[in-house]
């Protein structure tokens, strides 16, 4: 699943894509993707993983897939989204440079934010949306260039 996220062109399945959303722990990488190809406003989403409750993946992926299959066959919810913090991926330069966190959307019948909103107190904030104002695209590009963050760095292969 992580490979499909990092290399979607290698996805040769009948149904393209995965139920995994890739985020990053690196704020500059997040700015790069929020700013990429934007003409007007952009948005940078910040997730407070501590506010999500028990969503950290602790069971082996094979076991999770078995549970999902069983629940899916009975038309039950597959559960809350799971967070995957991959070990350092030194062998995969693209993943290493992008510093990913993967969020597995377990129930595709509802929006990711709805799942967490329905499980938590109304005053808790799991997501924060930071707006990149229109007209700041070039400033963001310059900021990232000053830090050596470019398409070539994020996609070295």
Find out whether 99 and 31 touch, Cβ atoms under 8 Å: no
Q: Which residue has the higher pLDDT, 53 or 32?
A: 32
Say what the pTM is.
0.70
Q: Identify whether 83 is part of a domain.
A: yes
Q: Identify whether 64 is part of a domain.
A: yes
Q: Identify whether 123 is part of a domain.
A: yes
* Nearest C-alpha neighbor of 131 from the set 45, 70, 2: 45
Q: Identify whether 36 is part of a domain.
A: no
Q: Identify whether 143 is part of a domain.
A: no
Total domains in the chain come to 1
Q: Identify whether 152 is part of a domain.
A: no
* C-alpha to C-alpha distance for 22 and 68, rounded to whole angstroms: 20
Contacts of 3 (CB under 8 A, 6+ apart): 10
Burial class of 72 by CB neighbour count within 10 A (0 to 12, 13 to 18, 19+): middle
pLDDT tens-digit map of 72-128: 777 766 666 666 666 666 667 878 888 887 777 766 666 666 766 666 666 777 778
Q: Identify whether 95 is part of a domain.
A: yes
Q: What is the pLDDT of residue 133?
A: 95
Domain that holds residue 60: 2-8+17-26+43-133
* Nearest C-alpha neighbor of 48 from the set 108, 107, 120, 105: 120
Q: What is the pLDDT of residue 23?
A: 82
Q: Identify whether 147 is part of a domain.
A: no
């Amino acid at each position: 699943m992580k490979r499909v996220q990092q290399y979607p062109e290698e996805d040769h399945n009948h149904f393209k894509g995965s139920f995994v959303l890739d985020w990053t722990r690196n704020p500059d990488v997040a700015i790069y993707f929020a700013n990429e190809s934007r003409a007007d406003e952009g948005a940078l989403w910040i997730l407070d993983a501590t506010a999500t409750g028990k969503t950290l993946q602790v069971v082996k992926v094979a076991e999770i897939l078995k549970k999902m299959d069983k629940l899916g066959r009975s038309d039950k919810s597959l559960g809350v989204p799971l967070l995957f913090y991959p070990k350092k991926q030194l062998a995969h330069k693209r993943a290493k440079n992008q510093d990913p966190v993967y969020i597995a959307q377990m129930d595709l019948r509802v929006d990711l934010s709805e799942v967490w909103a329905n499980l938590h107190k109304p005053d808790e904030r799991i997501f924060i949306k930071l707006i990149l104002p229109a007209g700041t695209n070039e400033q963001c590009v310059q900021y990232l260039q000053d830090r050596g963050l470019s398409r070539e760095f994020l996609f070295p292969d």
